[in-house]
Amino acid sequence: MDHSSEAHRIQWAAFREGPLQEVSTPDPFPNYFVKRLDLLESWVNGNKYYKLKYVLRYVLRQGRKTIISKGGMFSNHLAALSQACREFNLNLIAIVRSYQPDEENPSITMLKENGHRVFYVTPGEYKVFGASEAEAIDSEAVFVPEGGASAWGVKGAADLTGELIASIPSHIVLAGGTLSTAAGVISSMPSGMRLVVVPAWKGCTEKRFRETLSQFQIPDKDNWEIWPTYHFGGFARYTKALVDFVADYYRRTGIPLDPVYTGKLLFAVEDKLRAGYFSEIDKAVVIHSGGHQGMRGFSYRYPDDWGKVATQMKQEGLM
């Protein structure tokens, strides 16, 4: 594909950043702001736009035809990458972690409807799958790590910081998965601001974040912290409290959340507000990373818990 062609140039350039929405809280708690990356307008939305844009630019300029990447059964990363590859007529080979195939899974259905190939691998095989394994499948393909956690992804996430600091926040708060978005944001964040990471899983620790910063050669200025107790038992785990919060938050604010990342993120923010973490002079900006498609997977697997709110979101065209 010729990335310099007029049609593709226009398609690539089409971009409208996600708005900043103020969320009112009861007195005496300060209001906070949500950066709505779920409302970003381009070839894909959410934080995945930033994490994928440089690797896609490389693929297109090099005239490559295929991307290989990996993710879980309900991966937001694979969903976004599939959408992007469809937009730019690229092939995607998705390596999916699973003990057994699940062809009814809405995420798998979407991948195949987009014309992309799915290979199921066991968790053990998944853990060791990397660039060399991808090369064995297709030596001309470009491998993108899980979650887009590459130097390209960190560079893209750094671009997001410019949008965030325009509002002069005291705190930038985001969900932590691979921690590559957090690494990119902090790499270009001015002094005087503080980054807060809310883990989506138990392995999202201070030690791991320091290792991530070192991996991508980002100076550690200790202007960050991790709130470690809001993962609800681990990745993709939840309790009734989270189910109730996601439904109530949507009713109160009109902002849809997902059970894996943004639900836990905003639960943590409001819990810390009530605990007095933020002062009256603080201005917290919370990054809504998108990921609404994850709700489809949860309503598919846990319809009694998530079916009602998922149906409402679907009726309003949010997934």
- Kindly list the distances between the CA atom of residue 292 and the CA atoms of 158, 257, 317, in Å, as whole numbers in the listed order: 23, 7, 11
| CATH T-level fold of 48-148 | Rossmann fold (3.40.50)
- Kindly list the distances between the CA atom of residue 305 and the CA atoms of 26, 53, 117, in Å, as whole numbers in the listed order: 28, 35, 31
d(CA 6, CA 9): 5
d(CA 2, CA 295): 36
pLDDT tens column, 27-75: 889 999 999 999 999 999 999 999 999 999 999 999 999 999 999 998 9
Determine if the peptide bond prior to 28 is cis (ω within 30°): yes
Q: Which of 8-17, 254-263, 303-312 has the highest mean pLDDT?
A: 254-263
Instruction: State residue 301's pLDDT score.
Output: 87
Quick one: CA dihedral 301, 302, 304, 306, positive or negative?
negative
- Kindly list the distances between the CA atom of residue 96 and the CA atoms of 78, 125, 171, 201, 290, in Å, as whole numbers in the listed order: 9, 10, 35, 19, 21
Distance of CA 163 to the CA centre of its chain: 17
pLDDT at 312 over 60: yes
Q: Are 264 and 239 in contact (CB under 8 A)?
A: no
Say yes or no: domain 6-44+150-315 is CATH 3.40.50.800.
no
What amino acid is encoded at 75 in this protein? S
Q: Average model confidence (pLDDT) for the chain?
A: 92
> Are both 6-44+150-315 and 48-148 of the same fold?
yes
pLDDT tens column, 70-118: 999 989 999 999 999 999 999 999 999 998 888 888 889 999 999 999 9
Quick one: tokens of 252?
């109160």
d(CA 247, CA 310): 9
- Residue 3 — pLDDT band, cuts 50, 70, 90? very low
pLDDT average, residue stretch 256-261: 95
Residue 168: Cβ-neighbour burial (10 angstroms; 0-12, 13-18, 19+): exposed
Radius of gyration of the chain from Cα atoms? 19
Instruction: State residue 152's pLDDT score.
Output: 96
String of DSSP letters for 193-259: -EEEEEESSTT--HHHHHHHHHHTT----S-EEE-TT-STTSTT---HHHHHHHHHHHHHHS----T
- Residue 266 — pLDDT band, cuts 50, 70, 90? very high
> Which sequence spans correspond to the domains of the chain?
6-44+150-315, 48-148
pLDDT tens column, 115-163: 999 999 999 999 999 999 999 999 999 999 999 999 999 999 999 999 9
Q: Are 107 and 83 in contact (CB under 8 A)?
A: no
pLDDT at 5 over 60: no
Instruction: State residue 8's pLDDT score.
Output: 60
Instruction: State residue 41's pLDDT score.
Output: 94
Least confident range of 85-99, 288-302, 305-319: 305-319
Quick one: tokens of 96?
């999916």
- Beta-strand pair 20-23/32-36: antiparallel
Instruction: State residue 129's pLDDT score.
Output: 97
Q: Are 54 and 83 in contact (CB under 8 A)?
A: no
pLDDT tens column, 190-234: 989 999 999 999 999 999 999 999 999 999 999 999 999 999 999
Q: Are 70 and 96 in contact (CB under 8 A)?
A: yes
What amino acid is encoded at 283 in this protein? K
